[in-house]
Amino acid sequence: MPGEIENSEIVRDPRPVVRKFLARQQQEGLGAIVRRSIGRFELKYFDPFLALDEFSVTAPAGFPDHPHRGFETVTYMLQGAVTHEDFEGHKGTIQAGDLQWMTAGRGIVHSEMPAAQGTQKGLQLWINLSSKNKMIEPRYQEMLSKDIAEVEKDGIKVRVIAGDALGTKSPVYTRTPTMYLDFTLKPGAHLQQPIPVSWNSFVYVLEGEGIFGGGDGGGASKLSSVTAHHLLLLGSGDGLEAWNKSSKPLRFILVGGEPLGEPLAQLGPFVMNTQEEINQTIDDFDNYTNGFEKAKHWRSEAAIALGF
């Protein structure tokens, strides 16, 4: 198209949009509002991704003390701030643009509560761990907004949370190989972003309206025009092609990951490979053993303040 802004990345086989749906609001935690796209009844699991929530929380609502085992949570703040506390004594606040990549591993109990006035907004992605990593020690990778690589080129801005884009690579280590990119396209911009062929990938639109897709159809949408709060599952191919043909900026995340291809057994915040392992996890949590020892006498400051 004459006058169209181009990105130099080459995608020879663009991934088609094979599924699209709107993430509708629901209540979660203590009065928090989330738009869940992965992890709801239409899409329980998209290997290796267990859940994607766009959350909105205003004090005193929040996510008080709760456990995890067997996966990672990635929290990316869009507005406001959230304070995290856990039974290992780790405490910190992430603000707009900041990232926390938490490996729950064998077990963690933590809280996530508003830390600023007004409404706090962000994204939380749950990434499954392979069987060999499910019982590793918990750990964190945290990055302030100023430390997240940001590149602008040809009307495209990208924040490289995990993986690489426009010649820039994130230092975040992902046990399950993962890419997580926050794109903003100016009006007229055209993006081509490579994705490893064997990976599953999706787009979640945060602001504006864009056109996504490609491929030869094959029963899937060749091109799909999408607005905010929609999730797009991408089919096979070597990358994403997207256009902003509107008059306003388009912002979306592109997430991809290498499928684990392992059996899945899940009970809420516990994600293992077999029902026997889930049963053992429940016993461990109930009896404060095998990674949950410190849960017996721990309450977060936020829970104590709320009278829990």
Distance CA 45, CA 264 (A): 9
Q: Report which secondary-structure segment, H or E, holds 56.
A: strand 49-58
For residue 8, tell me if it sits in a domain: no
Distance CA 227, CA 90 (A): 38
The full length of the chain comes to 308
For residue 11, tell me if it sits in a domain: no
Distance CA 275, CA 266 (A): 8
For residue 180, tell me if it sits in a domain: yes
Structural domains counted in the chain = 1
Mean pLDDT, range 53-82, rounded to an integer:
94
Identify the residue with better confidence: 3 or 155.
155
Answer positive or negative: Cα dihedral of 74, 77, 78, 82: positive
| Residue numbers of the domain that contains 119 | 23-305
Q: Is 296 exposed, middle or buried (0-12, 13-18, 19+ CB in 10 A)?
A: exposed
**pLDDT classification of 8: cutoffs 50, 70, 90:** very low
Mean pLDDT, range 281-307, rounded to an integer:
90
**Average pLDDT taken over every residue of the chain:** 91
- Residue 134 bridge partners (DSSP): none
Q: First-to-last CA distance in the chain?
A: 60
For residue 10, tell me if it sits in a domain: no
Cis peptide leading into 60, omega within 30 of 0?
A: yes
Tens digits of per-residue pLDDT, 91-142? 989 999 999 999 999 999 999 999 988 999 999 999 999 999 999 999 999 9
pLDDT at 225: 85
- Indicate if the pLDDT at residue 307 is higher than 70: no
Amino acid at 126: W
Distance CA 66, CA 79 (A): 23
- Indicate if the pLDDT at residue 220 is higher than 70: no
Tens digits of per-residue pLDDT, 41-58? 889 999 999 999 999 999
pLDDT at 308: 62
Looking only at the bridges linking them, the beta strands covering 189-194 and 5-6 are parallel
pLDDT at 202: 98
Amino acid at 298: W
Burial annotation 19-28 (CB, 10 A radius, 16+ → b, else e)? bbeebeeeeb
Portion of the chain with pLDDT greater than 70, in percent: 94
CATH number, domain containing residue 27: 2.60.120.10
pLDDT at 277: 98
Q: Which range, of 63-67, 260-264, 277-281, 283-287, averages the lowest pLDDT?
A: 63-67
Mean pLDDT, range 143-172, rounded to an integer:
95
Looking only at the bridges linking them, the beta strands covering 189-194 and 270-272 are unpaired
Identify the residue with better confidence: 47 or 213.
47
DSSP letter for 182, please: E
**Quick one: which of 163, 198, 86, 177 has its CA closest to 133?**
177
- Residue 92 bridge partners (DSSP): 84
Distance CA 303, CA 308 (A): 5
Identify the residue with better confidence: 61 or 200.
200
pLDDT at 222: 61
pLDDT at 9: 67
Our separate counts of H helices and E strands in the chain read: 2, 27
- Indicate if the pLDDT at residue 1 is higher than 70: no
Portion of the chain with pLDDT greater than 90, in percent: 81
Range with top average pLDDT, 1-5, 30-34, 46-50, 221-225: 46-50
For residue 4, tell me if it sits in a domain: no
For residue 283, tell me if it sits in a domain: yes
User: pTM for the full model?
Assistant: 0.92
Mean pLDDT, range 272-288, rounded to an integer:
98
Mean pLDDT, range 237-262, rounded to an integer:
96
For residue 155, tell me if it sits in a domain: yes
For residue 140, tell me if it sits in a domain: yes
